[in-house]
Amino acid sequence: MKVFVINIGNTNTEYGVFENGQINEVTSCPTISFERSMIPSCIPVAFASVVPSKNSIFDGLDSFRLSAQSKTGLDFSNVDSSTIGADRVANAVATAFTEKLPAVCIDCGTAITFEIVSSSRAFLGGAILPGRTLQRKALRDHTAQLPLVPLSSSLDGVFAGTSTADAIRLGVDAGTVGAVKEILVRVRNFFPVGELTLIATGGDAEFFKREISELEIRDNKYTLYGIAKAWEMNKSEN
């Protein structure tokens, strides 16, 4: 049986078809443009959404909405599960069922989120910080003169900002890499040396891989797979 899987994010929405354990036909569009006409009517739908205004699109459809209260195969008893975003739940499910545990998944998008999963498939929590684009927009929107600076693909050779734009690039990009590294230091303190798998996914994952070599990149199907895996566990109740 196949299912149409959708991940509605703050900036972009990704969707594809899950069948025989694989995600195919993956497409992405700006979330503001995602509408009901993009959802096929002939197969079930499974979705994760962090944009409440988009949830009404699924009214009346044969749909499964992922949350921490769904069957996931994960133990959420260590955290306040009522506050965990569906995208983070999906990433945790994908991590729990595809990676060597314990593991941490870092989703590098509008926000950078960390999902930590123990060797017993317990969700231990994580961290959330603004992504590089969001920080750039905050500087543009909340100052009088700072510009919106395009993303850079790396920090190679940069040691000081010799213009305002370069200073923003260095401050935001090096600062965000430093923040991610510091969070990983703290996470590693809870696990024996060498036992933590580090996964990065999301649109900005390649940038962080260049700066943190231990990260293992997963493609844009990762979160969708977590949604599909949870759907499989819940479909008898749909």
Give the model confidence (pLDDT) of 49-94 as tens digits. Answer: 999 999 999 998 889 999 999 999 999 999 999 999 999 999 999 9
Residue 17 lies in a domain: yes
Residue 211 lies in a domain: yes
pTM: 0.92
Q: Which residues contact 185 (CB under 8 A, 6 or more apart)?
A: none
The Cα-based distances of 225 to 15, 41, 109 in angstroms read 10, 21, 17
Q: In CATH, what number is assigned to the domain containing residue 207?
A: 3.30.420.40
Residue 162 lies in a domain: no
Residue 161 lies in a domain: no
User: Mapping DSSP to helix (H, G, I), strand (E, B) and coil, where does residue 178 land?
Assistant: helix
Residue 144 lies in a domain: no
Pairing of the two strands 111-117 and 123-130:
antiparallel
Q: How many domains does the chain have?
A: 1
Helix and strand totals (H; E) in the chain: 6, 10
In terms of Cβ atoms closer than 10 Å to its own Cβ (0-12, 13-18, 19+), residue 83 is exposed
Instruction: Please report, rounded to a whole number, the percentage of residues in the chain having pLDDT higher than 90.
Output: 85
Flag whether pLDDT at 42 surpasses 90.
no
Confidence of residue 237 (pLDDT cuts 50, 70, 90): low
Residue 153 lies in a domain: no
Catalytic residues: 87
Q: Report the pLDDT value the prediction gives residue 120, as an integer from 0 to 100.
A: 96
Residue 18 lies in a domain: yes
Range of the domain at 11: 3-130+178-237
The per-residue pLDDT for range 94-116, each reduced to its tens digit, is 999 999 999 999 999 999 999 99
Q: Which residues contact 59 (CB under 8 A, 6 or more apart)?
A: none
Residue 165 lies in a domain: no
Structure tokens at 143: 């100052």
